[in-house]
Chains A and B, each alone.
Chain A
């Protein structure tokens, strides 16, 4: 073994449910609804520091082991999951509507067909991401991690244990 490290994270928002900007807006509105605030990505709810947010394709909350007792993290995640379901429904409708409009355009040129295809992929991704969001945190973060690792050149071997999940990321050799 070379090095070891410990940390604590919660997947607040799975990637691809809705566009990133919408994901951030909905998340921030949930933070506000719970009387929270962000200070340089440090998350406070009701004055209590809950951890540091990594906001990109997805939203991940990182916190110290000594803070694990707070249930505000799961409350915020549950609230976000409810709110984002509404936003996702709007997003899917919007994609459907755009697809319908493009299909109706007189000449179905290759570029339009490609755009329609992209929207179809976005819909599929969004639906899969919402299913992930609704899964238990451990399962959801595992799936996001595996996806990220595969994209970064690792093969993934997974094993479930009583305590959680054991993952082995094996660097692909070329």
Chain B
């Protein structure tokens, strides 16, 4: 499943971000890294996927643990 970050921008500067396809805390890392030049992002609300074990990469091959 492709990893996606969905971002809604309204005309008043409001930003809403949600991740899709991530498992575990990597979603928070992905958002933080994407916005690191723009804002200090905090106040995350986590969905059930967040509490699942995340994927690890070994020898260049994606492995779901």
How far is B38's CA from A9's CA once the two chains are assembled, in angstroms?
Answer: 8
Given A152-B34, A169-B4, A5:B11 Cβ within 8 A: no
Given A168-B6, A169-B5, A5:B12 Cβ within 8 A: no
Task: Count B-side interface residues using an 8 Å CB cutoff.
Answer: 42
Task: Determine the main DSSP class of B at the interface with A.
Answer: mixed
For window 27-61 of A, CB contacts with B under 8 Å fall at 52, 54, 56-58, 60
Task: Count A-side interface residues using an 8 Å CB cutoff.
Answer: 41
The interface residues of chain A lying within 8 Å CB-to-CB of B44 are 3-5
Asked if B10 is at the interface of the complex by the 8 Å CB criterion, the answer is yes
User: Are the CB atoms of A2 and B23 closer together than 8 Å?
Assistant: yes
Instruction: Name the contact of B37 in the complex, choosing from A5, A56, A165, A168 (C-beta under 8 A).
Output: A56
Contact digits for A1-38, partner B, Cβ 8 Å, 1 yes 0 no? 11111111110000000000000000000000000000
User: Are the CB atoms of B5 and A154 closer together than 8 Å?
Assistant: yes
Tell me which of A81-89, A92-100, A109-117, A133-141 binds B.
A133-141
How far is B42's CA from A4's CA once the two chains are assembled, in angstroms?
Answer: 10
User: Are the CB atoms of A68 and B7 closer together than 8 Å?
Assistant: no
How far is B46's CA from A65's CA once the two chains are assembled, in angstroms?
Answer: 20
Instruction: Name the contact of B11 in the complex, choosing from A65, A163, A166 (C-beta under 8 A).
Output: A163
The interface residues of chain B lying within 8 Å CB-to-CB of A171 are 2-5, 30
Query: Which 5 A-B pairs have CB atoms at the shortest separation, nearest pair first?
Result: A2-B27, A164-B10, A171-B3, A4-B18, A2-B49
What is A's interface to B at a CB cutoff of 8 Å?
1-10, 52, 54, 56-58, 60, 62-63, 65, 68, 136-138, 141-142, 144-145, 148-149, 152, 154, 163-171, 173
